[in-house]
Amino acid sequence: MSQIIFATRKAILCTGTMAFLLIPVTAQSVIRKEQGMSLESATQPASTLEVVVTRVFDAPVEEVWKAWTDSEKVMRWWGPTSFTAPVARIDFRVGGKSLVCMRAPKDFGGQDFYNTWTYQKIKPYESIEMIFTFSDKDGNRIDPSSLGIPPGVPTDVLHVITFKRLGDRRTEMTVKESGYTNEQAVALSTAGLEQCLDKMARLFE
């Protein structure tokens, strides 16, 4: 469910907990500054790493759960700022495979980028465990390197989303993504995920 941002000549490739997209190249220096990263430190290899982001929403756990399981709601928050989600075919069951799409704004090329979410474990209103995979529009698996994504991002990214009820009207949600192999991928993926969750928060306003 995260978005990982990578430099190219004209843009930054952004992939995430569920999709990959393009954002302006100027965002690279901003994100690095926010994360306290230099170009040199961002490219150093590391062992397998995780992205972990926790948010508290002013909504009951049932509503936060629907943000992941209801197609119309997914299309309202999936993707970073300025991106839309024209497709969210949700097959929410153990063994099911959802297909989601993020569309870049016209200023960034207007491309569509697809991913699948394959569900491994589901504990209603407690946790969702799924595999996020790069794909084509038909849901066929794609090697991220074929899309120009540099090392550090695996083809399949394990996502575990947990939900904690905080009284009747508040919910703590944690998203954990596993399998990244360098600090740059982790820092930029975290930044992209935060943008997605900013949009999710607006569902409950």
Give the model confidence (pLDDT) of 77-118 as tens digits. Answer: 999 999 999 999 999 999 999 999 999 899 988 888 899 999
Contacts of residue 123, Cβ cutoff 8 Å, sequence gap at least 6: none
Asked if the model's pLDDT at residue 51 lies above 70, the reply is yes
* Whole-prediction pTM: 0.79
Cβ-based neighbour number of residue 136 at 10 Å: 12
Asked if the model's pLDDT at residue 23 lies above 50, the reply is no
Longest CA pairwise span in the chain (Å): 49
- pLDDT at residue 154, rounded to an integer: 79
Domains (range + CATH), the chain: 4-202 (3.30.530.20)
Asked if the model's pLDDT at residue 37 lies above 90, the reply is no
